[in-house]
Structure 1
Amino acid sequence: WRMDETKLKFRLFDDGSFVDSELRFQIDGASANSIRLDGEHLELESIAVDGRKLLNNEYAVDPEGLTIFDVPDSFTLSISTKIHPETNTSLEGLYKSSSLFCTQCEAESFRRMTYYPDRPDVSSIFTTTIEADKSKFPHLLSNGNLVHEDDMPNGRHTATWHDPFRKPCYLFALVAGNLAALEDEFVTCSGRTVRLTIFTEPKYKDRCVWAMDCLKRSMKWDEEVYGREYDLDRFMIVAVDDFNFGAMENKGLNIFNASALLADPDTTTDGAYERIEGIIAHEYFHNWSGNRVTCRDWFQLSLKEGFTVFRDTQFSESTVGATAKRIQTVAGLQAAQFPEDASALAHPVRPDQYTAITNFYTATIYQKGAEVLRMMHTMAGEERWRKSTDLYFDRHDGQAVTIEDFAKAVSDGSGLDLTQFFRWYVQAGTPRITVQESQEDGGMKLEISQRCEPTPNQPHKEPFHIPLAIGLIDAKGQEVLGETGSRNGYDISCKSAMHVENPNQDGTLIVHLKKANDTIEFQGAPKGATFSFLRGFSAPVYVDYPQTVDQLEMLAAHDSDGYTKWNAMRSIYGRFILNRNIDLSRVAELTTCLVEQIQECENGSERKSLLNAMLQPPSVFNVLDANPGADFDDIVANRDELSQFLADELMQIWEELYVQHPAESSYETTREAVNRRATRHAALAYLRRGMGKKHPQSIGNLLRDNFTSADNLTDRLANFMQLLELPSEVQATKQEVIDEFYTRFAHEAFVVNNWFSCQIMCTLPKAIDRVKTLEQHEAFNKTNPNRVRSVYGAFTSNYKNFHELSGTGYRYLAEKIIELDATNSQLSARLATVLTRWNRFGPKRRALMQDALRTIAGTTQSKDLSDVVNRGLNVGVKTS
């Protein structure tokens, strides 16, 4: 059967609302005996087929849906339901956010409004009428184009919206409220004028300017890079305070968590400005990669999300710089997805089973899925990639398709054989590459092997097809490989059974590793040359390559690839953090060289961004996750010792760097200003460490004065966070600033979220006491996901306190998860995932984290939370 037309009418009231639907069904082929519709938490008011009210024995209602028996070949089904958005704390379906009505339907929440075939492969033409009190809800919004408005005699009014493009119901949206609008327009590549509107609470209207600029640049970029033109007459975005996700790509009416949309210097950090830019691009790009071509089923979720993340990352690379964005992307992947791939929640990019689909909106689906696309792009090259994506969109426009369909379009468009490569979609886990380097007569040789550890339900892994980007530099720091295999006077030939190519005709070779073990020889390579391995992070893998400190220093100083420069310096710091296998005085010398380069560098350059990134030692978990079996407490202690040594030993350098990068007279979002602030804050962090022991009140006064005089949140938070880390001798100054901060920004939700999280993430002892105090604060609200994450989510990120060996942090989080599950199961399930990563720790912490999971398992849980807990305890997964 198919369902060509959906007509909806929402009648919104303060105490219960009504949804009337008319669904036009056409039975194709043999007549079906019955039709099954999904539905949850609904009160059925009436049901009729072709205008005739059904008798009780002609349909059956159960907690998960509605079955209609003996349906004709063609019919119109009319259903009226009553729902209660005013008490809906799950934030799924139709709910209230402050004074607004709004919806969130992906993945399976449309069924919370009316009975419907709630599947992504069922698409229909939607016409939606909304009726509400005009004085309370003057703006009534839905998908598509506004076709009719009408005032009613009782103070109510209606608006009717028609979307001419078929869509699945997960892309439906509705918003009703008293909103302010920022208007603009965009002229498409074919000359059509599109009306752009961003709606928000009236007090936030001026904070939409950055978002509007980002939207227009995204639309232009998608036309130029992917040939994708917008298709409706209007594009609308609405900001809401209460939202489980960052944003949602509903056709023509995107709904955003306000924290991912609104921006001004007083309430938005540099990082948040970039995040807003990326999220706006992501949701807009979904209009083609997700809406025009959508998923056949939710197992194919990465078809739209992985592709769109890759596209928004490409866009961000064009705005903030390719190297800076690549480093940021890799750091995020290694912090979120690599641990997921090593945990009890590991799953393939295309899962083959699930219990609760909401738990599969994961780093694997999004971030690893994007990396799989990036590898395809690397292998195809820009021209063939564009040909492939054009073919995909042309071939499948208006369809619900699979990841195989995408892979076939890429294969057909590029000529690539992706048969073995497809294992990236069906095998979970992070491959680990081992490299052995040896000097051969007249050259150098690399022996490369791959392995992937067992993951749930996948005890054995077949070899992946891994594109490895490799360069080679000589003792002078010059590139050795080139267009014909040689460069700078060297005559080098490559010998390998692996396929080797130079797609960009530069110093980087792409070596295709397909077997468990293989070799490549470089005849004519100069003695003492250094390999630059995995340039650009060409594949999402761990690399075990025992390069010497001299080689790492050469890469950090001279490599032409920004990622490998950054990773080399990070590896040098990591040598000490892992096992103290490097002299600290040498680390100080290298850091001094870095600072000198930063001082000489133009603030607005991409090189400055890179050098700022290279100044940061790897995180505790970056070192721990890359080295299974390492001791958590040793890593924490070693990292602290490294940071303290650099602070003490290089105090004069940090003072100079800080003074050379003063605060700006007024805030700007330029790359020059962002880099200047990043450098100043890095120096400030080391100054706080160095002076905090010897002159805590002196540095405390500086941080307080900086905080008070700052004209932007980026500077304000940088000084606030460092001040909180000072010892108890400075408590009076700390409390003064804590109180001043809250008093000034008490009515700014985004700033208050930061105020909560900074105090809780402070690494000084007794963070759990700060959590307990702050959750009693007047501003704490357990029903707002952003506020909950700013407290409990921040606590889980405080690695010293949350993972304290007594287990009090784990037990307390378990208690809070149980409480939250009663009102917002998606939020509770997300918070529980941190407890499933017990396998990165030693026996005692493992046992304590598993005990916390068992505590949760012993209570009545939602399906979302039960799924995470059961998989976290290796109970297993039901096939869906």
Structure 2
Amino acid sequence: MAQPQAKYLKDYQAPAFQISHINLDFSLNGKNTSLVAVSKVVRVGDHAEPLILDGENIQLQSVKVNGVPADFIQSAGKLSINTQLTQFELEVVSKLDPESNTSLEGLYMSDGAYCTQCEAEGFRSITYFLDRPDVLAIYTVRIQADKALFPYLLSNGNLINSGELEGGLHYVQWHDPFPKPAYLFALVAGDFDLLEDEFITRSGRKVKLQVFVDKGNQHKAHHAIASLKKSMAWDETRFNLEYDLDIYMIVAVDFFNMGAMENKGLNVFNTKYVLADKASATDADYHGIESVVGHEYFHNWTGNRVTCRDWFQLSLKEGLTVFRDQEFSSDVGSRAVNRIHAIKVMKNQQFAEDSGPMAHPIRPESVIEMNNFYTVTVYNKGAEVIRMMHTLLGEAKFQAGMALYFERHDGQAVTCDDFVAAMEDASGIDLGQFRRWYSQAGTPEVIASESFDAATGTFCLTLEQSTPDTPGQSDKLPQHIPFDIELIDADGNSVINQVLDFTQQSQEFSFTGFNHKPFVSLLQGFSAPVKLEFDYSIEQLLHLMRFASSEVAKWEASVSLFSLCVWQCVDHLQNNKTMYIDNRIIDGFKGILLADDLNEALMAEILTLPSAGSLIEQTDSVDLDNLEVARQFAVLEIATACEDELLTKTRLLSSQGTAEARALKNVCLSLLLKVDDTHRTLAVKQFETADNMTDTLGALTALNAEQSSEREQVLASFESQWLETPLAMDKWFSLHATYTSAGCIDQLEKLLKHEAFSMSNPNRVRSLIGVFAAANTFEFHRLNGKGYQFLTSAIIELNKVNPQVAARMITPLIQFKKFDLVRQDLMKASLQQILAIDDLSKDLYEKVTKALS
């Protein structure tokens, strides 16, 4: 195959033409769908270049300029139109086959409904166009279709016209008054159930809210619409931003590559982030819906009204909007728990990406396939960079910077530098060094050391930073790191709580006035996305678990404590010594269960002991086989020692109906089943009597840990009850995917043929194949190589069906360098197998070649 070529940020050039208005006229008719696109085109500057449009998989019918057939050349992915006119009307007529489109990009079918997905470059699969984010046009869209089959015809903006046509057809016309790039265009046509509401903005405008769902699911849309109203009110209060159209629509579709899409006024959502009721959705599902609905709504300003100039600036909208949705979740829920969840994503996923072959800055320098850069680095590390900026400026100056950003750039396509400049100018704070976070890849590593001079009462903290080399980048410069610390005395009193400005390669900070050496809590709240190396003692960690004023710091100390005992056990195994757990560590976790000053949600997070994947991310090279034995031993020892407390807590919480109580109860239940088979009856009883999916799944998860007749019984019962509910069956598939057993792969192979599974549906694929590869660490990495081959076979099949999903699932296979040479060779062989297939997609080609090189 011809090798795909990379594009580079340094080669950016402004468009030679702009399109100010576009009229789209769709006639939806299955494989014979037609589209007439009429654009107002303006030449930019004094040049004689042809107009070159992007287009893929389009059956071109005709091209006219000012009503006259145009002189054009059609080539792979491009349409070149020869004209010397400075402004003109361009008409492109084409035919589309949405029924055959399995990539789920452009215009496609989802369970009988027409749907679009245009981010990042899907609009070019709908019509030839300047498909780039710095071309903003005003869209007017006419849609006609069979009224009986497609009673709802939706697009961006406000509805301006509709009517009946002959032959059972009808039409609608939508107009979006706000200029937008092509990636924000959306069209949906289908027969749905509709849930309606309204929101009154602070200026008194009435906005119609509509959520469209598959027939029979209207009762599952109430939480989504409530989350939308909560998001709209929060954005007005916290960010002084008001919605700007007369209507806001959400459509839930089952076939969708992403979580959701922020198309202006018409958000297209994966059903996973819309549908929920107590029987079929967990507390985590409810939280996910609220968060994603908020995220897509917040894009209305941070992404739509101000968008990115080019795709290298993706974090401009995504990092900023993730920060906003995290703040929303924290303001309306538990700030500590939401912060812990964000930290887990960074440490378990983003750090892995930074140390792998796809490492890139939050503003990448080059790209082959843009879909590959919808990453945890761009999104989540991007959000951490915004959070650090917020820490350095403070809330008032940060909000002043946001206001200036919108004042300067509303209606424009801009860069990350434009955003930082607004923050600098509004706050008066120099962010020159801070800009390196946008351009340097990799996770900075900070080594901390402490000293105490009893004679002078001086405590000294020394910090040293460095960032490892990443592909294409070496010799990294020091970053500006806001480093949050707390100093706590022996009685548990907080003496100093301060954010240090850590800007040099090595820096010392001194604190005076101490009678005794204080206990230090470092990098509180994960104040910067760095790896911290500090030789905490067991005594120090126990003190922080008990007295740190930050709940997140308590949790961080518990993670360090458990990790410490696991790595000690690995060392014992490697040196043929008997494993043991220090009794102080066991007493520390027992103290959590007995504490009366901790909320249940925080207890649940502390007792959710670090996964194998998170432990692997703590080391450069892992002895996986000994890690498996050591982790199982450590969990069993802690659970056994705390059995009475776990049992008491489980029984106490059984009658409580809060999400926090359910979270803690289900963690305790899972630990109890590690201890003794007799506790299975507790899980079976909970499964049989549960009146909500959280407790149902909690019982299933606990029983899923090992082979038993009870496990088979409850899994069969769940399957029978929920077979016709796809999102519930996704949970069932994921349970099988995380099952640790010698027969795991054989079971997964059978499930690929299950009546509820479909390789063409991303949700099904992610729940079974994706969860197995990403979360079932020890089974995926068995030395027999069956786990690698299972994923490889699936990726080869997906390359033909949906390359975007295939590329996202290959991640565990390309992150091989932490493992032993035998496993590395097996994973490389799988990658070579993928590289050798015919018609390898750009999505996969980029990741595989970078991994192998």
TM-score of the superposed pair, with normalisation by structure 2: 0.95
2:689 equivalent among 709, 712, 717: 709
**Contact 2:581/2:637 (<8 A) preserved:** no
Deviations 1:263-314 (A, max 9, x none): 1112111111111110000000000000000000000000000000000000
Distance 1:524 1:22 in 2: 74
Distance 2:123 2:251 in 1: 19
Distance 2:589 2:810 in 1: 39
1:789 equivalent among 758, 762, 766: 766
Match of residue 169 from structure 1: 182
Q: Which residues in structure 2 correspond to 1:687-836 (within 5 Å)? A: 687-692=672-677, 695=678, 699-727=679-707, 730-731=708-709, 733-796=710-773, 797-836=775-814
Amino acid at match of 2:729: V
Does the alignment pair 1:32 with 2:48?
yes
Match of residue 381 from structure 1: 394
Does the alignment pair 1:641 with 2:633?
yes
Deviations 1:305-359 (A, max 9, x none): 0000000000000122111111111011111101000101100000010000000
1:10 equivalent among 26, 30, 37: 26
Does the alignment pair 1:590 with 2:567?
no
Change (3 A) 1:532 1:77: same
The structural deviation recorded for 1:31 is 4.6
Match of residue 680 from structure 1: 665
**513-522 vs 26-35, which deviates more?**
26-35
Deviations 1:743-774 (A, max 9, x none): 11111000011111101211233211111111
Distance 1:65 1:233 in 2: 37
Distance 1:66 1:198 in 2: 38
**Contact 2:193/2:212 (<8 A) preserved:** yes
Match of residue 614 from structure 1: 606
Match of residue 843 from structure 1: 821
2:621 equivalent among 625, 629, 642: 629
**Contact 1:685/1:722 (<8 A) preserved:** yes
Amino acid at match of 1:737: V
**Contact 1:432/1:544 (<8 A) preserved:** yes
Q: Which residues in structure 2 correspond to 1:120-519 (within 5 Å)? A: 120-440=133-453, 441-442=455-456, 443-481=458-496, 508-519=497-508
Distance 2:760 2:443 in 1: 36
Amino acid at match of 1:585: N
Distance 1:583 1:747 in 2: 47
> What secondary structure, in the 3-state scheme, does the structure 2 residue paired with 1:245 have?
coil
Deviations 1:115-151 (A, max 9, x none): 0000000000000000100000000000000000010
Distance 2:642 2:741 in 1: 24
The structural deviation recorded for 1:569 is 1.3
Match of residue 498 from structure 1: none
The structural deviation recorded for 1:415 is 1.4
Q: Which residues in structure 2 correspond to 1:485-564 (within 5 Å)? A: 508-564=497-553
> What secondary structure, in the 3-state scheme, does the structure 2 residue paired with 1:511 have?
strand
Distance 2:639 2:419 in 1: 51
Amino acid at match of 1:638: A
Distance 1:526 1:404 in 2: 47
The structural deviation recorded for 1:397 is 0.3
**Contact 1:137/1:176 (<8 A) preserved:** yes
Question: Over aligned residue pairs, what C-alpha RMSD do you find?
Answer: 1.3
**Contact 2:538/2:585 (<8 A) preserved:** no
**Contact 1:41/1:63 (<8 A) preserved:** no
**Contact 1:624/1:631 (<8 A) preserved:** no
**Contact 2:736/2:768 (<8 A) preserved:** no
Amino acid at match of 2:539: D
Amino acid at match of 1:716: T
Does the alignment pair 1:567 with 2:580?
no
**713-722 vs 609-618, which deviates more?**
609-618
Distance 1:734 1:629 in 2: 35
> What secondary structure, in the 3-state scheme, does the structure 1 residue paired with 2:264 have?
coil
Distance 1:761 1:457 in 2: 36
**Contact 1:34/1:67 (<8 A) preserved:** yes
The structural deviation recorded for 1:804 is 0.6
Distance 2:259 2:616 in 1: 29
> What secondary structure, in the 3-state scheme, does the structure 1 residue paired with 2:620 have?
coil
> What secondary structure, in the 3-state scheme, does the structure 2 residue paired with 1:676 have?
helix
**Contact 1:578/1:630 (<8 A) preserved:** no
Match of residue 10 from structure 2: none
Distance 1:658 1:872 in 2: 46
Distance 2:691 2:153 in 1: 37
Match of residue 872 from structure 1: 851
Distance 2:539 2:269 in 1: 49
Distance 1:31 1:725 in 2: 68
**Contact 2:646/2:672 (<8 A) preserved:** yes
The structural deviation recorded for 1:663 is 4.4
> What secondary structure, in the 3-state scheme, does the structure 2 residue paired with 1:250 have?
coil
Distance 1:802 1:715 in 2: 28
Distance 1:630 1:862 in 2: 32
The structural deviation recorded for 1:529 is 0.9
Amino acid at match of 1:688: L
Off by >6 Å, runs of 4+ in structure 1: none
Distance 1:211 1:363 in 2: 25
Amino acid at match of 2:307: T
Distance 1:624 1:137 in 2: 50
Amino acid at match of 2:52: R
| Identity %, equivalent residues | 40
The answer for unaligned runs of 5 or more in structure 2 is: 1-16, 572-579
1:119 equivalent among 125, 132, 138: 132
Does the alignment pair 1:92 with 2:70?
no
**Contact 1:235/1:252 (<8 A) preserved:** yes
**Contact 2:460/2:510 (<8 A) preserved:** yes
TM-score of the superposed pair, with normalisation by structure 1: 0.92
Amino acid at match of 2:734: S
**Contact 1:766/1:801 (<8 A) preserved:** no
The answer for unaligned runs of 5 or more in structure 1 is: 482-507, 875-880
The structural deviation recorded for 1:378 is 0.2
Distance 1:31 1:764 in 2: 67
**Contact 2:131/2:182 (<8 A) preserved:** yes
Deviations 1:394-453 (A, max 9, x none): 110000000000000011111111111111110000011101111124211111100111
Change (3 A) 1:607 1:700: closer
Amino acid at match of 1:678: A
The structural deviation recorded for 1:99 is 1.1
Distance 1:360 1:260 in 2: 22
Match of residue 489 from structure 1: none
